[in-house]
């Protein structure tokens, strides 16, 4: 087949087809992950609030396990209503600008080693692209969704979306610096920006024990990056309805929804890789250990949503500049000093 296509000058079709298949598999993984995470979030929050949560869809015997599927089908059937005075181009592009970088980041995160002997799977490491500058690429791509939020907020021509846009930008600027500095300390300790090499560097001691301050800074900054309580001031329902996405519905809203829950998993995955030894663990396959650690982190984040209040915007900015940034610099100084000994 390859020789036949080459003779017709169509040899590029094969790699394009492989890339398309890989993208579809990755999208299916993201969609499945979102379904599982949304179900867990609703069940965990209902348990915290002494409720049962969804119980009917899929049968009470199975605790409404098909509720996320029903929600997804309902969402895709929603009418696509758009504001008349919208700025068309940025309004249409904003969902993609938010979702595509998150989708690419999902392909850069190694999920661990799988117990197979297939050479084409990059020594059994389950990842779409194991880059030498993996953490740098992820940190760079993580900034782009803020641009999508700006486009959505400005183009909707709505007072709520405009205010949410301004809050999102302020939040991004305030917490991006400590977020990067905490990751930089890990890179210094591991001697590499490759995520799998960072995991290998923790074979003797997890970095959470080497740099506990860095872990706290990275965890709190990650909450701000993914707009989770107590730092969801740009999506505050009682103030801004739904933030920058208030004028979106249908499939465009679905892209924002997918991105939000994919970001939750990405934050948990980065915390696991950078501080909790990644997929390292006894007996069980590496992939299982990776997902166990990730979902423990996700549980903690959801638990915080059910128990903590939302901070004010001025409090959030004060914590970012007056607490997180000095702590990130202190952690970087301590880590570099230890490495120089």
- pLDDT tens digits, residue range 269-308? 999 999 998 888 888 888 889 999 999 999 999 999 888 8
Return the pLDDT at 120. Answer: 46
Q: Counting beta carbons within 10 angstroms of the beta carbon of residue 281, is it exposed (0 to 12), middle (13 to 18) or buried (19 or more)?
A: middle
Which tops the pLDDT comparison, 238 or 145? 145
Q: Give domain limits for the chain.
A: 1-77, 87-340
Average pLDDT, the chain: 84
- Three-state secondary structure call for residue 306: helix
Return the pLDDT at 88. Answer: 80
Of the segments 9-23, 79-93, 114-128, 246-260, which one has the largest average pLDDT value?
246-260
The lowest-confidence range among 45-59, 227-241, 283-297, 319-333 is 227-241
Proportion of the chain above pLDDT 70, given as a percent: 91
Return the pLDDT at 50. Answer: 83
Tens of pLDDT along 106-137? 989 988 777 655 444 445 677 777 888 889 99
**Whole-number Å distance between alpha carbons of 238 and 223:** 20
Return the pLDDT at 123. Answer: 54
Return the pLDDT at 278. Answer: 85
The residues near 334 (Cβ < 8 Å, ≥ 6 apart) are 211, 213
Return the pLDDT at 122. Answer: 46
The residues near 166 (Cβ < 8 Å, ≥ 6 apart) are 153
Return the pLDDT at 8. Answer: 55
pLDDT band at residue 9 using 50, 70 and 90 as cut-offs: low
């Amino acid at each position: 087949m390859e020789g036949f296509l080459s003779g017709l000058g169509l040899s590029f079709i094969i790699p394009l087809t492989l890339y398309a298949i890989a993208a579809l598999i990755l999208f299916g993984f993201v969609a499945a992950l979102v379904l599982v995470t949304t179900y867990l979030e609703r069940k965990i929050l209902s348990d915290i609030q002494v409720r049962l949560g969804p119980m009917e869809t899929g049968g009470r015997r199975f605790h409404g396990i098909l509720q996320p599927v029903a929600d997804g089908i309902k969402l895709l059937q929603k009418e696509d209503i758009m504001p008349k005075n919208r700025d068309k181009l940025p309004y249409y592009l904003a969902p993609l600008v938010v979702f595509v970088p998150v989708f690419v980041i999902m392909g850069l995160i190694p999920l661990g080693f799988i117990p197979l002997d297939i050479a084409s799977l990059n020594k059994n490491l389950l990842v779409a692209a194991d880059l030498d500058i993996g953490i740098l690429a992820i940190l760079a791509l993580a900034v782009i969704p803020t641009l999508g939020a700006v486009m959505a907020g400005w183009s909707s021509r709505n007072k709520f979306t405009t205010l949410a846009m301004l809050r999102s930008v302020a939040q991004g600027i305030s917490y991006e610096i400590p977020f990067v500095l905490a990751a930089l300390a890990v890179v210094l300790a591991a001697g590499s920006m490759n995520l799998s090499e960072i995991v290998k560097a923790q074979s003797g001691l997890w970095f959470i024990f080497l740099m506990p301050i860095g872990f706290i800074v990275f965890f709190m900054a990650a909450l701000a990056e993914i707009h989770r309580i107590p730092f969801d001031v740009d999506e505050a329902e009682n103030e801004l309805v739904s933030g920058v996405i208030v004028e979106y519905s249908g499939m465009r809203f679905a892209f924002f929804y997918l991105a939000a829950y994919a970001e939750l998993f990405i934050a948990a995955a980065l915390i696991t890789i950078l501080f909790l030894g990644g997929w390292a663990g006894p007996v069980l396959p590496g992939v299982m250990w990776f997902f166990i650690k990730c979902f423990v982190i996700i549980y903690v984040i959801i638990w915080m949503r059910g128990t903590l209040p939302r901070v004010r915007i001025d409090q959030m900015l004060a914590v970012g500049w007056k607490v997180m940034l000095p702590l990130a610099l202190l952690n970087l100084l301590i880590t570099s000093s230890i490495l120089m000994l």
